[in-house]
Amino acid sequence: MNLFDKGIALGVGVLLLYIFAWRFYRADDSRLRLGVRIALFLALSYVLWATGMIPFHVAPWTDDPSLHLLAQVLELLWWLQAAQVTTALAGGAFLPSRMNRARLFQDVFRALIFLAAFVAAIGYVLDLPVKGLLATSGVLALIIGLAVQSTLSDVFSGVVLNATQPFRIGDSVAIGDIQGEVIESNWRATTLLNGQGNFVVVPNSLAAKASIVNQSLPPRMHGLEVAIRLSPRFRPAAVIASLNDAVISTAGILASPKASVSATTVRRKYIEYTILVYVASSAEKTQARNEIIDQAYRHLKTHGIGLRRGAKGASGMSSQERLLRDVEMFHALTDEQFSLLAEALVSQHFSPGQLIYQVDVLCPDERRALYIVASGVAALESPHDGKNVELRRLSPGDSIGRAGILTGISRPIILRAVSKVSIVLLHKDALTPILQQNPEVAKSMLESLMTYEAKAAQLLSEVPVSERGPEDVLHRLLSGMRRLHGIKH
């Protein structure tokens, strides 16, 4: 075998090693795999140049068809190998990092390099007229383009979307009327996972023309609108004030940007009000929307907005008596007993920031009272590490002081007005005669208090931690109730 035969044999051997490294060598380090492929490519280049098979010239040994064909094959495979190594090296060096992560740009970049390698191999190795080939390819491309016009529209729209990057994988977006999480974005389409758990495939041509709302950006601020329609007979200023109180009462609303309430539409039959708030994540929107609607109902109801005219309902009870009936601890009382307690209620009014109620473990018995929010928003605070920590917001109908008025047991709690607040309070002395004369009512109220304590979180509980041992909590509460109200049995 002469030198040229040895060169061809070495070239084939290096190519087999390259194919083995490409298909079967799976090192964990990508840089190590690339290094092996570059080394084998350099080895093949050395063998070809050393034996006269230069890929930039026509293959040698034209007088020997067999050797000439083998040389052509080796040179053509060298160009293929050069394209593969170039895409691996140039992808990370020339493409921006955001384009390098996008599959579409990687595919386009690889296609351009392989196309250039193909044209060069045809021109150098096979010595074919490249201009004629390009002209023929242009006509063929025109025919194919007309046949797959819609697909090409999706492809080029995909290029635009990947260049501008209005969304990324994992973002929550709205493309036109379609909402969901971006699962995949490829040449032809973008795949979303909608709220029903279904995959929705949106062609890139439609996505490029539609309005795209990325609900994941900015990452910690997501707007939420709630529209409420009310009769035009209610004064808009009073409605807006009530809805502002509803926003203040809602937990999880961002302080900045500031929430807003506005009257947006006026019609003969209704006025539409829009509440705009911001939450930290799109996952919190549903809970925030539900709570805003609940708080709006409570605050509007307090001011008689959206209800029938008149201060009294069909039963003739006052608004203060309705507040008492909403306290679950009093559900065992009769109508007569409710009327007696309603007559003993005292109304108080507070300005924003004013202290409403403060109690500690050693609170005097004569100061024990149940505080019910009649209107406005109040903040419940508790001392912690030398400062007051806000536990929650109280809205109309919420109350504090259950354990204190019933058992004389309490923990340090502060109630402060956030907006203009109206409070009705019930002193413990008004409850004492009812408990003394009706032991079954006392038992029911105590059971209701224990149920409330079981459901309340530790920070919202009114019973101190030291009093909450599961083995003696009932005994302690019962003893406290007997002592506070002078119950003998």
Fold of 167-214: SH3 type barrels. (2.30.30)
SS3 391: strand
Pick the CATH number of 319-485 from 2.102.10.10, 2.60.120.1030, 3.60.150.10, 2.60.120.10: 2.60.120.10
pLDDT for position 16: 78
Question: Does the domain at residues 222-302 carry the CATH identifier 3.50.50.60?
Answer: no
CA atoms within 13 A of residue 363's CA, in its CB half-sphere? 25
Dist CA 305 CA 239 (whole Å): 7
Using alpha carbons, select from 253, 260, 225 the residue that is nearest to residue 393: 253
- So where are the chain's domains? 3-147, 167-214, 222-302, 319-485
Dist CA 186 CA 148 (whole Å): 17
Cβ(117)–Cβ(80) below 8 Å? yes
Q: Concatenated DSSP letters for 314-326?
A: TT---HHHHHHHT
Q: Do the domains spanning 222-302 and 319-485 agree at the CATH topology level?
A: no
Residue type, 457: A
Dist CA 210 CA 202 (whole Å): 11
Task: Tell me, rounded to whole angstroms, the distance of Cα 9 from its chain centroid.
Answer: 61
pLDDT tens-digit profile, the chain (489 residues):
454 555 677 777 777 777 776 666 655 566 777 787 788 888 888 888 888 888 888 888 888 888 888 888 888 888 888 888 888 777 555 555 555 445 556 666 777 888 888 888 888 888 777 666 555 565 555 555 554 556 667 777 877 787 778 888 888 899 988 989 999 888 788 999 988 889 999 988 888 888 898 887 777 788 899 999 999 999 999 999 999 999 999 988 998 889 999 999 999 999 999 999 999 887 888 999 999 999 999 999 888 897 544 444 445 678 888 899 989 899 899 999 999 999 999 999 999 999 998 888 788 888 899 999 999 999 999 888 888 889 889 999 999 998 889 998 888 889 999 999 999 999 999 999 999 999 889 889 988 888 887 776 554 566 565 544 545 667 888 888 888 888 876
Using alpha carbons, select from 168, 276, 254 the residue that is nearest to residue 212: 168
Dist CA 79 CA 125 (whole Å): 10
pLDDT for position 466: 52
pLDDT for position 170: 86
pLDDT for position 139: 54
Q: Can you give the pTM of this predicted structure?
A: 0.60
